[in-house]
Structure 1
């Protein structure tokens, strides 16, 4: 999830990270009715692992989120791939007029996998446990939030500032509710001294459709049906095997050969050539691949101005760039990707006359721009080196000279985070399903500052971002995000280009495997076809 570029590459947001190590797959799961199109057998899923633990309080990576979604329920949910409207999960809720106090009421009768009831004490403990663990990757999601038990079925959340997106935040699988009694007995605590991760890597303490069978972070994870589960999703399989298959070609071979039923990491070219008997769900992801033009004179010198970004924005041929992205990908219409509140309906089209005028106003007279980018970190199947080469070629045709400066991800990340790139090619994705994730592009905020764009550089856009963040009326909030996206596309130092696709391929024997930008895929929704 290269969303917030937190403490490690794995923690970068809610998206597939394919460059992890592990075995290349095999036949270890090929038993217990594998391939059957009837309920009760085994479901086999191939994916490139990005998971460090089965403890929801510590997980914050794509495979980890999918795993947590299967075992731990959250207070709030989304339906299928639609992340536009939060719906009740374990609880329903009401908010006050200022969006600073939320009251959640737990659904009657819900139980954990040991049969004990889900109660307010479990909600408070689960979330305060995360707040107390400074090293917990999801810790930042609950910053400034106070959580209190009212009675056995009621919990209140109080926020320091208006937080209309709180329900969407609480749908993150990392905020799954654990059985407080069980976890406390096994080292759980809210004071920062929690040691329960070891226990939760070998056992489940949730109320979700599945429980943990076994966990091998380098090879495979086995889930078993939770016989006590009494929620809306009824698991169709007794056993689910998630295998670490790092090569997409191997995933494709396993799927075609009947050794698996779901392949999660096929690229656009691979899914375009699939034949009968294999289905593909190809949709845009929540990520955006973009160019940044640094606004710091110490980095960009005389070319530190947004007109240079405008010139480049209109110089590019976006349909040609999209050819490198494959199935499911779409043009980025702005810093807010399609499917999120405030996203613009249409992106920029190439206009060389506008580009030439903006470049002249920027003071561009043929200087060579050094394009820095990570060359070993594909995003949604998009390789950055061929993309950078095509950008270089298109800009040359528009009269802009570009020198390519690729570097390993680990090396280039430091330059990007610390605002040392004059001209960079990067990506960003959401930490949770809400447009507030994209406000950091504003001047004076995280991504804006990585581009040397101080709040004083554009007080109007900075004000729009602040207004969108604090809005308490849903209609006004949508209008604020739309205006923010419009102004960013017109005057920002960024060039949004591509929203990569996510392709989930399945055997014709199963149905319901769809991509979700928060938890990758809801395993409990997968059923035998027909």
Structure 2
């Protein structure tokens, strides 16, 4: 029997930021020439580009997600910055009690940018197109999901195992619905031979508030209002210019000088003193910076045990670490960050007596621990080198010797992914707005294996993770995730440190520029102030 499905899992989701070289450009942010933003003019946004294409089926980067959100609508949506509860986008849905069968019903009367109706065939084509492209970054989101057209307004989704998080997954902008007729005419297929990316880098084929005007992946992207749009979001600007400005100092100068209205990449120090006429939305990002202690004897030798991780958890002074993170950041309370379903209400408090007892039980007798980390890849404004230096100093006070071993991101990433780091400083962000993204920290799963933590290393935690993954009752699911977070904090090989902040600064002439962990920022929500 089908029951209306409204999942209440609290989540944030997020992805790592990438920088591509670019410049500020010369577009004035004054939409009507007198320094005041008004509807119908231009909106100028500065950000460090992280984008490879305007094709939603190939896009899986922060800037790419923001662009796709503006041009392509999804079946499911979230309201504003709140990603705790999925809401209908292009469709409403029902699910069976086992969370293996979902039925989506399209909203009547919705149209693409060419005025043609949105039908079930477009949904099936759009999502099967992604399933048919193994090389497409979003491909994994729909693994194990069968998608079929029921009638012109109805689509069925079936899975072999419970997938309570499916609505949250379908809110990802990469799963935006394209006009199947237009895309098929320009090389689009569901068979794996798709060649439509080139076409979609030149013009859009969606139903979102905006359509693509011009695309230059190194300098700027220009959008214009979709005159056929008939959804709930009414774009307040006729034209949007998104500029690739890689230096945060340049973004700040542009914002203060009135050359832009939105700066997306200012650090904590910069937003702390913006001055008159500017404002900022600072929130936790959803990413977690953590330490891992390898559990493989081949990698860590005699120190391959979770008690070493426990000792480090209690040895650290978290408020002092948080000083390096800036506005919007918070302490990580576990492998599930604050704000997510099952997250713990508070994190570890420094206790040197507990730390020393755990170090003794771990067999630590003064051996030097080599801390490996990327030294050229800040996350949410947090530089890893000063963070590693502060961890080194704090552990020295607790009687632990640490040698720092920084390396470029590209170099260190291989060691992390291959599980050859004995002691590492890394970060993790979810792929969609659901706490299932953090189960990979469990034994035998992706991040657990990167720490040499085999499936049989802790059968209790492995069982809890399996229960959380298969839960179909929302309350039972929350309980399982909470139990997972508690068990990981007590007996896992990880030390969660910081959830970095995300800061979006704006002129006081606009409202609505707020961070969303799924699509960075909803451009259509930005309006002239007042």
TM-score bracket, normalised by the shorter chain, equals: over 0.9
Aligned to 2:466: 466
Aligned to 1:204: 204
The 5 A counterparts of 1:119-134 are 119-134=119-134
Aligned to 1:4: none
Q: Give the deviation of 1:36 after TM superposition.
A: 3.1
Aligned to 1:33: 32
Q: Give the deviation of 1:26 after TM superposition.
A: 2.8
Aligned to 1:151: 151
Aligned to 2:339: 339
Please give the secondary structure, in 2, of the residue aligned with 1:14.
coil
Matched residues in 2 for 1:89 and 1:255: separation? 33
Contact 1:251 1:266 in 2 (8 A): yes
Matched residues in 2 for 1:199 and 1:455: separation? 45
1:388 aligns with 2:388: yes
Matched residues in 1 for 2:16 and 2:509: separation? 25
Matched residues in 2 for 1:15 and 1:428: separation? 8
Matched residues in 2 for 1:251 and 1:343: separation? 34
Matched residues in 1 for 2:28 and 2:465: separation? 49
Aligned to 1:5: none
Please give the secondary structure, in 2, of the residue aligned with 1:266.
coil
Aligned to 1:177: 177
Please give the secondary structure, in 2, of the residue aligned with 1:301.
helix
Please give the secondary structure, in 2, of the residue aligned with 1:206.
coil
Q: Give the deviation of 1:274 after TM superposition.
A: 1.0
Aligned to 2:73: 73
Aligned to 1:357: 357
Aligned to 1:15: 15
1:166 aligns with 2:162: no
Aligned to 1:110: 110
Matched residues in 2 for 1:440 and 1:36: separation? 48
Matched residues in 1 for 2:277 and 2:360: separation? 55
Please give the secondary structure, in 2, of the residue aligned with 1:93.
strand
Contact 2:315 2:398 in 1 (8 A): yes
Contact 1:100 1:158 in 2 (8 A): yes
Q: Give the deviation of 1:21 after TM superposition.
A: 2.7
Matched residues in 1 for 2:403 and 2:372: separation? 9
Please give the secondary structure, in 2, of the residue aligned with 1:182.
helix
Aligned to 1:190: 190
String of CA shifts for 1:39-78, please: whole Å, max 9, x gaps.
0000000000000000000000000000000000000000
Check 1:188–1:72 CA distance in 2 against 1; reply closer, same or farther (3 A cut): same
Please give the secondary structure, in 2, of the residue aligned with 1:343.
coil
Matched residues in 2 for 1:181 and 1:339: separation? 41
Aligned to 1:53: 53
1:301 aligns with 2:301: yes
Please give the secondary structure, in 1, of the residue aligned with 2:476.
helix
Q: Give the deviation of 1:14 after TM superposition.
A: 3.5
Q: Give the deviation of 1:29 after TM superposition.
A: 5.1
Contact 1:15 1:520 in 2 (8 A): no
Please give the secondary structure, in 2, of the residue aligned with 1:213.
strand
Please give the secondary structure, in 2, of the residue aligned with 1:369.
strand
Q: Give the deviation of 1:123 after TM superposition.
A: 0.1
Q: Give the deviation of 1:15 after TM superposition.
A: 3.3
Please give the secondary structure, in 2, of the residue aligned with 1:43.
strand
Matched residues in 1 for 2:58 and 2:484: separation? 33
Q: Give the deviation of 1:28 after TM superposition.
A: 3.5
Aligned to 1:291: 291
Contact 1:287 1:499 in 2 (8 A): yes
Aligned to 1:493: 493
In structure 2, stretches of 5+ residues that fail to align are: 1-12
Please give the secondary structure, in 1, of the residue aligned with 2:444.
coil
Please give the secondary structure, in 2, of the residue aligned with 1:460.
helix
Task: Tell me the matched-pair count.
Answer: 517
Aligned to 1:238: 238
Aligned to 1:9: none
Aligned to 1:221: 221
Please give the secondary structure, in 1, of the residue aligned with 2:437.
helix
String of CA shifts for 1:365-393, please: whole Å, max 9, x gaps.
11000000000000000000000000000
Contact 1:16 1:50 in 2 (8 A): no
Please give the secondary structure, in 2, of the residue aligned with 1:184.
helix
Please give the secondary structure, in 1, of the residue aligned with 2:405.
strand
Please give the secondary structure, in 2, of the residue aligned with 1:207.
coil
Matched residues in 1 for 2:84 and 2:160: separation? 24
Aligned to 1:8: none
Aligned to 1:430: 430
Matched residues in 1 for 2:369 and 2:98: separation? 47
String of CA shifts for 1:459-509, please: whole Å, max 9, x gaps.
000000000000000010000000000000111000000000000000000
Matched residues in 2 for 1:269 and 1:200: separation? 39
Matched residues in 1 for 2:299 and 2:15: separation? 31
Matched residues in 1 for 2:15 and 2:81: separation? 14
Q: Give the deviation of 1:33 after TM superposition.
A: 2.9
Contact 1:29 1:241 in 2 (8 A): no
Aligned to 1:10: none
Matched residues in 1 for 2:520 and 2:439: separation? 23
Aligned to 2:99: 99
Q: Give the deviation of 1:152 after TM superposition.
A: 0.3
Aligned to 1:518: 518
Q: Give the deviation of 1:273 after TM superposition.
A: 1.2
Matched residues in 1 for 2:57 and 2:225: separation? 22
